[in-house]
Amino acid sequence: MPLARIDLVQGKSADYRRTIGEVIYDAMTATLNVPPNDRFQVITEHPDENFIADPTYLDISRTRDCIFIQVTLNAGRTVELKSAFYQAVADGLHARLGLRREDVFINLVEVAKENWSFGNGVAQYAPK
């Protein structure tokens, strides 16, 4: 049920963007107990002047290759699972694309299960 929004500066290939999505999905299934086929992603490119990532916040050196990953998901996962997800994404993007781990910015947004409708106007996970 996660929804991943991925933002990056314009100019990367379709294969590069596709690989980002694959790495994130693989990390979700491996670390966050996301079921198979639960893949919903939006990848958006931005002109350089519209993509602002502080280059030194928290003493982390970021480049123009920095990507933002925001995942909305059900509340309730432990800090350990979240940390494992962060590491799996950073490591996977580094291994598959050569993206620096410093350039992987991740934000998780937790919501209650009733905040989802996957179609048909039905809240499939709402308590009954």
Interatomic CA distance for residues 93 and 104, integer angstroms: 8
Helix, strand, coil percentages for the chain (3-state, nearest 5): 40, 25, 40
Task: Say which amino acid occupies 96.
Answer: R
Catalytic-role residue among 2, 35, 47, 127: 2
Whether 55 is catalytic: no
Residue 72: its H or E element: strand 67-74
Q: In what order do the strands lie in the sheet with 104-111?
A: 41-46, 3-9, 67-74, 104-111
Residues in the chain: 128
| Catalytic positions, written as ranges | 2
